[in-house]
Structure 1
Amino acid sequence: METQLLLTGAAIGALSGFFGIGGGTILVPVLLMMGYDIKSAVGISVMQMVFSSLFGSWINHKKGFLDLREGAVIGLGGFAGALGSGWLVSEVPEIVLEVMFLAVIGFALYRFFHAPEYTESENGHELSPYLLAGVGAVIGLFSISMGIGGSILLTPILVGVLHYPLKKAVSAGLFFVVFSSVSGLISLSLAGQVDYFHGFIIGVASLAGVYAGIRLAAVTGHKKHKNALIVLYIIILGMMLKKVLGV
């Protein structure tokens, strides 16, 4: 089991670095297929996200991809929202969490299909910090409750609604995961919902993958990067539909 978890962690880390996600959107369905229940999968996933998001954001900052000011505003909002995740996971039935997960991925896929094209040289318009913090808070609450870092929902909102360039949005999304995952780990730990041993194994294994994924993203064109994200969402949506429908 440990070898399988190490390989899973490395693969999740690579996807995390490339797509700017915490990894929970992929890891939760994978853990469900490995036999974990949804609440154990959520706890392991959140712990892994702490590792991958911290390391990945440090690399993105060094490469100049990350706007720390706007990222911090969104992230602090996410931190505040994610503090309620322990209560939500403890009180809400598993089927509701699974349907929420499907809704998040479905929305993200819809927004990416309809997102306008922006080049990386476009900076967009100045956004209100209150708007950014509010968006972060809502995403933080619901995403951590589903075991995902929130960037899978935040990135399409930044690109499709708030007019961020894709690579800037991807970096901001991963930085957001730092705040939401740390907050979520605190909340879920207090609720007794974290498998620390398996979470640590996957988290450590993910670090090498994160580095490789960010390097690959840096040399990938906008259109190819966006299309890859759409394919990712479709795969995750299919995996969760299979789980929820029991087919």
Structure 2
Amino acid sequence: MSVALVFIGMIIGGMSGFFGIGGGTMLVPALMLLGFDIKTAIGISVMQMVFSSLYGSWLNHKKGHLNLKEGAVIGLGGFVGALGSGWLVKTVPEIVLETAFVAVVGFALYRFFTAPTHVDVDAGHDLSPAVLAATGATIGLFAISMGIGGSILLTPILVGLLHYPLKKAVSAGLFFVVFSSISGFISLSLAGQIDYRHGLLVGIASLFGVQAGIWLAGKTGNKKHKNALIVLYVVILALMLKKIFLG
């Protein structure tokens, strides 16, 4: 069991570093296949996201790919937006939420696909704090309502709609996870839903994966990196469509 958890942690960490995602979408089902119940799996996943997002964001900042000020504005906006998720889930039918999610992902994916790949990481992107905060708040509202971290929405929106440089958008996506994962970790800890022993094992293992993933992302050209992200988003979009139409 321990060997399997270390291996899974490294794989998920690598995906977090390379794609700028939390990794819960893949980690929770993998843990359930190992025999963990869904609540324990979610707790372990959240703990892993704290490790990978904090360490990955630090590495990205060292490389100059993460603007902490802009990332904090987006993240705090997401935190505020997430506060309305309970109301949204309570008042809006699930099918409407799912349809809206698919529509947003589909549109963002289209704009992401058509966005230029040659934008330099140091290129300017004159975005006001209000725009960044509003983007984070909107993503936080819908993402938490759908039970996801939000980076899967943030990256294509930053690149496709706000013309953010690709590498910085991926880094901002991972930094966005810091806010949601820490909030979730505190909440689940208070509720007694964290398996600290296994969470620590997976979390520490994910650090090695994150470092490898960020190194690989740095060695990957913008075009190949973008194509890999598109494949990931298409798979997630297909899974969401399957859930809506086939259950």
Q: How does 1:71-82 map to 2 (within 5 A)?
A: 71-82=71-82
Per-residue CA deviations over 1:57-95 (Å, capped at 9, x if unaligned) read 111111111111111111112233345668989999999
Does the Cα contact within 8 Å between 2:119 and 2:165 map onto a contact in 1? yes
The aligned residue for residue 204 of structure 2 is 204
How many residue pairs were aligned? 247
The aligned residue for residue 227 of structure 1 is 227
The aligned residue for residue 164 of structure 2 is 164
Per-residue CA deviations over 1:179-199 (Å, capped at 9, x if unaligned) read 121122223444555444433
Q: What is the deviation of 1:24?
A: 2.1
Pick closer, same or farther for the CA change 1:227–1:131 going to 2, 3 Å. Answer: same
Pick closer, same or farther for the CA change 1:219–1:34 going to 2, 3 Å. Answer: same
Does the Cα contact within 8 Å between 1:29 and 1:240 map onto a contact in 2? no
The aligned residue for residue 13 of structure 1 is 13
The aligned residue for residue 48 of structure 1 is 48
The aligned residue for residue 175 of structure 1 is 175
Q: How does 1:28-39 map to 2 (within 5 A)?
A: 28-31=28-31, 34=34, 39=39
Per-residue CA deviations over 1:146-184 (Å, capped at 9, x if unaligned) read 553321110001000000010111111111111121122
Gaps in structure 1 of 5+ consecutive residues? none
Q: What is the deviation of 1:5?
A: 2.0
Distance 2:81 2:173 in 1: 15
* Segment drifting more, 111-120 vs 165-174: 111-120
Distance 2:164 2:99 in 1: 28
Q: How does 1:86-235 map to 2 (within 5 A)?
A: 106=106, 109-120=109-120, 123-144=123-144, 146-190=146-190, 193-235=193-235
Does the Cα contact within 8 Å between 2:121 and 2:168 map onto a contact in 1? no
Does the Cα contact within 8 Å between 1:87 and 1:191 map onto a contact in 2? no
* Segment drifting more, 106-115 vs 181-190: 106-115
Pick closer, same or farther for the CA change 1:39–1:190 going to 2, 3 Å. Answer: same
Pick closer, same or farther for the CA change 1:194–1:89 going to 2, 3 Å. Answer: farther
Per-residue CA deviations over 1:4-61 (Å, capped at 9, x if unaligned) read 2221110000111111112223324434555656555443322211110000011111
Paired residue type of 2:133: A
Distance 2:191 2:103 in 1: 25
Distance 2:174 2:148 in 1: 11
The structure having more radius of gyration, on CA atoms, is: 2
Pick closer, same or farther for the CA change 1:3–1:121 going to 2, 3 Å. Answer: closer
Q: Percent identity?
A: 72
Distance 1:208 1:33 in 2: 23
Gaps in structure 2 of 5+ consecutive residues? none
* Segment drifting more, 180-189 vs 218-227: 180-189
Q: TM-score, normalised by structure 1?
A: 0.80
Paired residue type of 2:199: G
